[in-house]
Structure 1
């Protein structure tokens, strides 16, 4: 299986990290009590964000209205970021099986269950035109939760319908259980890991069609369920109408799977559309406060424009949605 970026580039990044004084003896992988495999991401620097103009984007995304390109202004300015410490990041998104095990061991009750309102779900009889927001999924209901997003999943699929608060609770429990710090990645750490040395829209290149090799996104398989958005579907099949088992596509150069597509991933930061203009050089942590948290990477239902490495999305911390999951970070000793 060919990776998104050559292993030679990855070796250079690791060598640069070691040359800058970072520990050279850290193991390349870690495993934890929940069966997660975490990959060492070296310290380094990159250019974060995108400054593509609406005109440049329109050439490769001609089916989108111009307003959608203008709305991407929060991806600018492109700015240099230094990640000063290596870290471990989940090689895969947190799975249904891992979340199930966490609940059994910790006694934690997910928000969608604790507040009795449930999550969102796919319902083949649901008509988006009946929703005031035109939402693609059946509205919040107790019958939907991480256990039931309205479509079949097994233990190897990414868990969805979990809130930001659920993700933080899982990280805090793991931290106490193992005596090392787990947390959500910052927005900068996430994009650094997703790019893995690349500056293209996707780790697979700039072409939207290249996503079919590396990501489960909105393609001809998913389009069959939402024919009203046919023009936004990739012209090809990734083999999955809904979520795919984690690791079903090619990894990036850091050995990370599904950084594009499958499930949106919560990150630690509050959202601020102007934050990049004043972002610090070293290890930016995001705004000190806010009202919504950032999510990154796109999902199985995401159009290609919104699965780019630079794209920023957000939700309230208690949002639970059939497209949103997580990936956890473990700090290196």
Structure 2
């Protein structure tokens, strides 16, 4: 695993972009999507008071396999016998909660097989928040250095890398094509009903891409937009930003769902913005969700 040392610093977290501005930037989206972003506000200053190491790439299939082989840990998709989610072009959309070719939990799917081909250099998906924490704990014990998931504030600080635009590439969604594996014409071939939301252009990948395939941000981090959603340490609360401490916020003390950030290979560009927040239960395993680790500096 390669890590990048990120300096202590401060930034403005969240978004105050108006509904009207978003509607002009994303004309193919329904207005209600821009009105459902209250958890991105208010914009607030955050100070990251200590330098920390962040993984340069998302955890890969090969790295996760080596963790399992060395530790004996059994990921939840296999341990509970219910499997994960998978892409199945023959699946009846009427049976899917999403209404598309993602098949619900099935023992045939796991981190080993999300329904599409992956190499060892692709980001691991179908891993739960609990799986990610288990990997951090094992690395901590094995190496004697503290590994953990990033806080939500650390994640956005790392993703923005000094920017205040929608993406670290700017405000134009088209700018993502050189920096992110998101839902574009390649992916849309498999989901015809969502074609109007596809980013015009091709990034060369219909599913996950090898990590580091696109341009990094100013911190030298790859795939902070797209490829795989990344678990963070924080519980989610729509109102947390209004009361968030300035220095090193850790998120709410309790909750029912954990925050994931960054978007994936199947994510529409609007939902891959630096400020966008999504969440799932800690036991969720899905074809779009992976992880990126932090190692605390000495």
> What is the TM-score normalised by the length of structure 2?
0.99
Question: Which deviations, in whole Å up to 9, do the C-alpha atoms of 1:18-67 show, x marking residues without a partner?
Answer: xxxxxxxxxxxxxxxxxx00000100000000011111100010111111
CA distance in 2, matches of 1:285, 1:295: 14
| Residue 79 of structure 2 corresponds to residue 114 of structure 1 | yes
Matching residue of 1:30: none
Give 2:46's aligned residue.
Answer: 81
Whole-angstrom CA distance in 2 between matches of 1:327 and 1:261: 13
Q: 1:209 aligns with which of 163, 174, 192?
A: 174
Q: Of 248, 253, 264, which aligns to 1:283? A: 248
CA-CA distance at 1:131 after TM superposition: 2.3
Q: 2:268 aligns with which of 283, 296, 303?
A: 303
The reply on whether 1:130 has 2:130 as its aligned counterpart is no
Alpha carbons of structure 1 residues 125 and 153: separation in structure 2 relative to 1, 3 Å: same
**1:157 Cα shift?**
0.2
The answer on whether the counterparts of 2:89 and 2:101 sit within 8 Å (CA) in structure 1 is: no
Q: Distance in 2 between matches of 1:288 and 1:267?
A: 14
Match of 1:269, SS?
strand
- Displacement of 1:136: 4.8
The answer for the alignment partner of 1:254 in structure 2 is: 219
Q: What is the alpha-carbon distance in structure 2 between the residues aligned to residue 136 and residue 272 of structure 1? A: 30
Deviations 1:55-93 (A, max 9, x none): 110001011111110111110000000000000000000
CA distance in 2 between counterparts of 1:194 and 1:132 reads: 30
SS in 1 for 2:37: helix
Deviation at 1:141, TM superposition (A): 0.2
How many angstroms does 1:108 deviate by?
0.2
Alpha-carbon distance, 1:135 to partner: 5.3
Mean Cα deviation higher: 77-86 or 129-138:
129-138
- What is the distance in 2 between the residues matched to 1:265 and 1:139? 20
Give runs of aligned pairs for residues 134-283 of structure 1, distance below 5 A.
134=99, 136-283=101-248
Give the structure-1-normalised TM-score.
0.89
3-state DSSP class of the match of 1:71? Answer: coil
Answering whether residue 292 of structure 2 is matched by residue 327 of structure 1, we say yes
Q: The residue matched to 2:209 in structure 1 has which SS? A: coil
Q: In structure 2, what is the Cα distance between the partners aligned to 1:133 and 1:197?
A: 35
- Structure 1 or 2, whichever has the larger Rg, is 1
Verify the 8 A CA contact 2:57 2:222 in the aligned structure 1. yes
SS in 1 for 2:201: coil
Instruction: Give unmatched runs, 5+ long, in structure 2.
Output: none
The separation in 1 between residues aligned to 2:68 and 2:92, in whole angstroms, is 34
Partner SS, residue 35 of structure 2:
helix
- How far apart are the structure 2 equivalents of 1:132 and 1:119? 14
Secondary structure of the corresponding residue to residue 245 of structure 1: coil
Structure 1 residue 124 displacement after superposition: 1.0
Task: List alignment gaps of at least 5 residues for structure 1.
Answer: 1-35
Quote the Cα distance in structure 1 between the aligned partners of 2:66 and 2:137: 15
**Residues 51, 297 of structure 2: 8 Å contact kept:** yes
Cα RMSD of the aligned pairs, angstroms, is 0.8
Say whether the 8 Å CA contact 2:100–2:191 is kept in structure 1: no
